[in-house]
Amino acid sequence: MKTLFETLNEKSKSISQQRLFGIALAVRRGELSRDEVEDEVLKIVDSDMTDKQIEDFAATKHKGIPYKVKKK
Q: Is 49 contained in some domain?
A: yes
Q: Is 51 contained in some domain?
A: yes
Q: Is 64 contained in some domain?
A: no
Structure confidence by residue, pLDDT tens digits, 5-64: 555 566 778 889 999 999 999 999 999 999 999 999 999 999 999 999 999 999 988 888
Q: Which domain holds residue 26?
A: 8-58
Contact indicator for 26, 56 with CB cutoff of 8 Å = no
- Domain count within the chain: 1
Q: Is 63 contained in some domain?
A: no
pTM for this prediction: 0.78
* Alpha carbon distance 29, 15 (integer Å): 21
Q: Is 47 contained in some domain?
A: yes
Q: Is 68 contained in some domain?
A: no
Q: Is 2 contained in some domain?
A: no
